[in-house]
């Protein structure tokens, strides 16, 4: 498990401070919710959120320090972005119960080299970049390694059941679902050879104009 990161936040009066006004002031409107928590309307500073989110993503715990009170344990559930600027315009934080299992999408980290690619010229095909897991919040990994060193021949693959998961973490994807495989290189088509005359056969002579007829 990656150590949680701290993100300062303040409560927002939705009636007095519109989302647009919050953004113009350099913050991002957000909401915190959970199965055993009341919804809270908040805001966070743009630079502080981007710094924490770059490390935490959507699969690491964050200590949300709301108005200087005891931090709430949350994960980023959703981020909405502006279509033109690509800046975040709204965030959903999910407050977790540290004593109850949760589900989350955890990114895959592909490590090592595939012999079937390096030495045989195969093509590496990744079919998934994350898997869904179930675990206690304190056991939630920031990523899961996928060992490419197991791919020695064409059509070798790594499936969910081949992953080495941390203690307390269970994969919810199908055990036989492929994560990455190696396919053989495509054979290049050879150009068709020009038709050769049969043995003893002379190539056709170019057509000659009839007597008294001129070439065009």
> Any idea where the domains of the chain sit in the sequence?
5-95, 102-183
The pLDDT value recorded for residue 137 is 94
Asked if residue 195 has pLDDT above 80, the reply is no
The pLDDT value recorded for residue 210 is 54
* Domain covering 5-95 in this structure, CATH number: 2.40.240.10
Asked if residue 155 has pLDDT above 80, the reply is yes
**Mean pLDDT computed over 166-177:** 97
Q: Are strands 170-171 and 157-159 parallel, antiparallel or unpaired?
A: unpaired
**Mean pLDDT computed over 8-24:** 93
The pLDDT value recorded for residue 186 is 79
**Confidence at 187, pLDDT banded by 50, 70, 90:** low
* Domain covering 102-183 in this structure, CATH number: 2.170.120.20
- Whether the Cβ atoms of residue 158 and residue 151 lie closer than 8 Å to each other: yes
**Confidence at 95, pLDDT banded by 50, 70, 90:** very high
**Confidence at 68, pLDDT banded by 50, 70, 90:** confident
The pLDDT value recorded for residue 185 is 87
**Mean pLDDT computed over 154-170:** 97
Could you tell me where the beta strands, DSSP code E, fall in the chain?
5-11, 27-34, 37-45, 62-66, 72-81, 88-95, 102-111, 123-126, 130-135, 144-147, 157-159, 170-171, 178-183
**Mean pLDDT computed over 119-143:** 95
Asked if the domains at 5-95 and 102-183 fall in one CATH topology, the answer is no
Q: pTM here? A: 0.77
């Amino acid at each position: 498990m990656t150590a949680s990161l701290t993100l300062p936040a303040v409560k927002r009066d939705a009636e007095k401070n519109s989302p647009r006004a919050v953004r113009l002031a350099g913050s991002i409107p957000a909401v915190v919710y959970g199965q055993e928590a009341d919804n809270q309307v908040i805001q966070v500073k743009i630079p502080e959120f981007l710094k924490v989110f770059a490390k935490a993503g959507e699969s690491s715990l964050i200590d949300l320090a709301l108005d200087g009170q005891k931090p709430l344990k949350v994960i980023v559930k959703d981020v909405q972005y502006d279509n033109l600027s690509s800046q975040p315009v709204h965030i959903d934080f999910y407050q977790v119960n540290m004593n109850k299992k949760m589900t989350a999408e955890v990114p895959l980290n592909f490590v090592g080299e595939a012999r079937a690619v390096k030495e045989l010229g195969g093509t590496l095909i990744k079919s998934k970049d994350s898997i869904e897991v179930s675990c206690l919040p304190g056991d939630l990994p920031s990523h899961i390694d996928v060992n490419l060193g197991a791919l020695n021949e064409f059509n070798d693959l790594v499936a969910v059941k081949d992953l080495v998961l941390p203690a307390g973490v269970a994969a919810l994807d199908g055990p036989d679902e492929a994560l990455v495989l190696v396919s053989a290189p495509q054979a290049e088509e050879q150009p068709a050879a020009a038709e050769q005359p049969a043995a003893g056969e002379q190539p056709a002579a170019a057509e000659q104009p009839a007597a008294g007829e001129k070439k065009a």
